[in-house]
Chains A and B, each alone.
Chain A
Amino acid sequence: MKLKELAYARSGDKGSNVNIGVIAYSRDNYLFLQMHLTEERVAQYFSCLGSRKVKRFDLPNLLAFNFVLYGALEGGGSVSLRTDAQGKALGQAILQMSIEAK
């Protein structure tokens, strides 16, 4: 099962950090993801970005999580040589992540 079946997302930059909001379609999905969409799992999935730390903030009132990948954008904005220097594509990228089936 892929994350996109359980949630939707949005990503953006703050300097060389990127944040990825993941919002569950239902409370059940939220509780499931709380267990399975861990900081470790997300850090591993995005390991090629070279982030130094991944932190998850929970927003139970919105059935959402905010993942901050510190230092994931190689300097970000104008400095990075990547096509996606601002992490705009990472919301779509996280939705393709495989999650173990319920």
Chain B
Amino acid sequence: MVLRIGNAQGFWGDQIDAAANLIHQSPDLDYLTLDYLSEVSMSIMAIQQEKDPTAGYARDFIEVVRMLIPYWNRGLRFRVITNAGGLNPEGCAEACLEVLRSSGVHDKKIAVVLGDNVLDHLRSDIDNPLFRNLDTGDSLSKVDKDLTTATAYLGARPIAEALSEGVDIVITGRCADPSLTVSACAFHYRWKWEQYDELAGATIAGHLIECGTQVTGGISSSWLAMERKTFIGFPIAEVDARGNCVITKPPGTDGMVNEQTVKEQLLYEIEDPGNYMSPDVNVSFLSLELREDGTDRIRISGAKGTPPGETLKISATYRDGFKSEGLLTIVGDDAELKAKLCGEILLDRIRRAGYSLEQTRVECLGSGDATLGVMGSQHGLRECVLRVCVKDQRREAVERFTKEVASLVASGPQGVTGYTTGRPKVRPVFGFWPCLIRTLDVKPTIKVMK
């Protein structure tokens, strides 16, 4: 029997009922994985936790657990692995336990994985060369006072250890996305952590399903030609004892799984395909073989693994001012020209109000500006959307901008419309600071919550 692992959440904000739907469509699943974390979501959680110390995790997950209860009550045995814990896995687990108890479920156990939060470590060792920004080479001292989060990407090991405690739900903070899947495989097949080819195969499976419907027809180059698109099935990886897998989706769901959708997702957000690095194993994609294995089934084999490096990746974030964007629709002859002029007028008014903004951007959407004119620019438009985006360290400067946008409805050209959503919002900006830490300096622990 192969191990069947589904993914029902590709990002924080994905379909809330995906988990219940997936388990309804495929009641024989062994594991459900749910991925909530991105660079930005950690910062949002940090703000929430500042206001309320019991917050700091993906609250959506509590609702997911509530929706899964009827399926557990029917006797299904699936287990759940998620990184919904964000900055507060214990808080997340407590909220889950509360929901379970209040629904009369007392036999489910939850474990949390801790130890990914390395903010204090970074703050106490600012000059450590490993903490330099991987992209720019800048020293951490440049942003240390503005740091909001710093978490290390943990691997599959602590999760597998938690599973061996017999728990039904494992909640982690930051963790490499594919490791959610790898942990289930390594635990189930009792792999040793030196079985690099097996771990590599499971990492490929995890990489393919971690973004939910992106491997089952979502954002495919052939999306338009796909027959049914409304309820695209969430993905399932069937992983065998050697780490080879079949990617598929529940029968009867919309979407598609074929060589194209799998290749597209294999190439999603990777750098060197000969050396895809995870905390568990470094994977080569260059020996992978794909073949069809029935309708909506693609078999992937041949992954090669080598030992992981001696460092883990850290994703840190820091405060970097505020931004806001205003949108207006411009209709009529010379719409593009009018849009550009409106954008300039708007920024000029802000300047005259005494604010020289740190960064501004005027886009005429519809003319090719969303891709900076790469595909060639469209002229002679009779309709386009003006988008003005500004950023500044001073909240009041950005606020001033948000108050000015609507004025163009009365003072701009005829045909300015589409301003019904009110003033644009001011949003805090979080810079992303990728760096490294010695694996030895990170000590993951697990805690079974009761």
List A residues at the B interface (Cβ < 8 Å). 8-10, 12-17, 19, 21, 23, 45-46, 48-49, 57, 59-62, 64, 66, 68, 70-71, 75-79, 81-84, 88-93, 95-96
Q: Is the Cβ of A66 less than 8 Å from the Cβ of B273?
A: yes
- A-B CB proximity, top 6 nearest: A21-B267, A8-B221, A81-B361, A12-B269, A81-B389, A10-B264
Q: How many B residues are at the interface, by size bracket?
A: 35 or more
Cβ distance A93 to chain B, nearest Cβ, rounded Å? 4
Number of A-B residue pairs, CB cutoff 8 Å, is: 136
Q: Is the Cβ of A89 less than 8 Å from the Cβ of B370?
A: yes
Q: Is the Cβ of A96 less than 8 Å from the Cβ of B375?
A: yes
Alpha-carbon distance between A16 and B135 when the two chains are bound, in angstroms: 8
Q: Is the Cβ of A59 less than 8 Å from the Cβ of B285?
A: yes
Q: Is the Cβ of A68 less than 8 Å from the Cβ of B265?
A: no
Given contacts A68-B271, A77-B38, 12 further A-B contacts (CB under 8 A): A8-B260, A14-B271, A15-B39, A17-B135, A19-B271, A21-B270, A75-B431, A77-B39, A78-B429, A81-B390, A83-B363, A90-B371
Cβ distance A75 to chain B, nearest Cβ, rounded Å? 7
For A75, list chain B residues within 8 Å (CB): 431-432
Residues B343-373 near A (CB distance < 8 A): 359-361, 363, 365, 369-373
Cβ distance A40 to chain B, nearest Cβ, rounded Å? 16
Alpha-carbon distance between A60 and B359 when the two chains are bound, in angstroms: 42
For A68, list chain B residues within 8 Å (CB): 271
For B449, list chain A residues within 8 Å (CB): none
CB of B446 closer than 8 Å to a CB of A: no
Q: Is the Cβ of A19 less than 8 Å from the Cβ of B260?
A: no
Q: Is the Cβ of A79 less than 8 Å from the Cβ of B389?
A: no
For A59, list chain B residues within 8 Å (CB): 267, 273, 285-286
CB of B374 closer than 8 Å to a CB of A: yes
Q: Is the Cβ of B264 less than 8 Å from the Cβ of A21?
A: yes
For B363, list chain A residues within 8 Å (CB): 82-83
Say whether, besides A59-B273, A81-B360, A82-B361, A49 and B221 are in contact (CB < 8 Å): no
Alpha-carbon distance between A91 and B268 when the two chains are bound, in angstroms: 10
Cβ distance B317 to chain A, nearest Cβ, rounded Å? 8
Alpha-carbon distance between A93 and B389 when the two chains are bound, in angstroms: 22
From B376, which residue of chain A is reached at the shortest CB distance? Answer: A96
With beta carbons under 8 angstroms apart, the residue of B43, B222, B274 that contacts A57 is B274
29 A-B residue pairings within 8 Å (CB atoms): A8-B264, A10-B219, A10-B265, A13-B269, A16-B135, A17-B135, A19-B267, A19-B268, A21-B263, A21-B267, A21-B268, A23-B260, A23-B267, A45-B374, A57-B274, A59-B273, A62-B290, A64-B266, A64-B267, A66-B272, A70-B135, A78-B430, A79-B391, A79-B429, A82-B361, A83-B370, A83-B387, A91-B221, A96-B374
Cβ distance B289 to chain A, nearest Cβ, rounded Å? 7
With beta carbons under 8 angstroms apart, the residue of B40, B269, B371 that contacts A84 is B371
Q: Is the Cβ of B286 less than 8 Å from the Cβ of A61?
A: yes
For B39, list chain A residues within 8 Å (CB): 15, 77-78
For A49, list chain B residues within 8 Å (CB): 372, 374
With beta carbons under 8 angstroms apart, the residue of A13, A61, A93 that contacts B288 is A61
CB of B323 closer than 8 Å to a CB of A: yes
List B residues at the A interface (Cβ < 8 Å). 38-40, 43, 134-135, 219-222, 260, 263-274, 285-290, 320, 323, 325, 359-361, 363, 365, 369-376, 387, 389-391, 429-432, 434
Cβ distance B284 to chain A, nearest Cβ, rounded Å? 10
Alpha-carbon distance between A13 and B97 when the two chains are bound, in angstroms: 36
Q: Is the Cβ of A15 less than 8 Å from the Cβ of B288?
A: no
For B323, list chain A residues within 8 Å (CB): 81
Cβ distance B387 to chain A, nearest Cβ, rounded Å? 6
With beta carbons under 8 angstroms apart, the residue of A15, A46, A66 that contacts B432 is A15
Q: Is the Cβ of B266 less than 8 Å from the Cβ of A62?
A: yes
For B370, list chain A residues within 8 Å (CB): 82-84, 89
For A12, list chain B residues within 8 Å (CB): 268-269
For B134, list chain A residues within 8 Å (CB): 15
For B432, list chain A residues within 8 Å (CB): 15-16, 75-79
Alpha-carbon distance between A78 and B431 when the two chains are bound, in angstroms: 7
Q: Is the Cβ of B373 less than 8 Å from the Cβ of A62?
A: no
For A10, list chain B residues within 8 Å (CB): 219, 221, 264-265, 267-268
Alpha-carbon distance between A57 and B219 when the two chains are bound, in angstroms: 22
For B274, list chain A residues within 8 Å (CB): 57
Cβ distance B65 to chain A, nearest Cβ, rounded Å? 29
Say whether, besides A9-B221, A77-B40, A81-B360, A66 and B265 are in contact (CB < 8 Å): no
For A16, list chain B residues within 8 Å (CB): 135, 432
Alpha-carbon distance between A76 and B432 when the two chains are bound, in angstroms: 8
Cβ distance A94 to chain B, nearest Cβ, rounded Å? 8
Q: Is the Cβ of B135 less than 8 Å from the Cβ of A15?
A: yes
Alpha-carbon distance between A62 and B302 when the two chains are bound, in angstroms: 12
For A60, list chain B residues within 8 Å (CB): 286
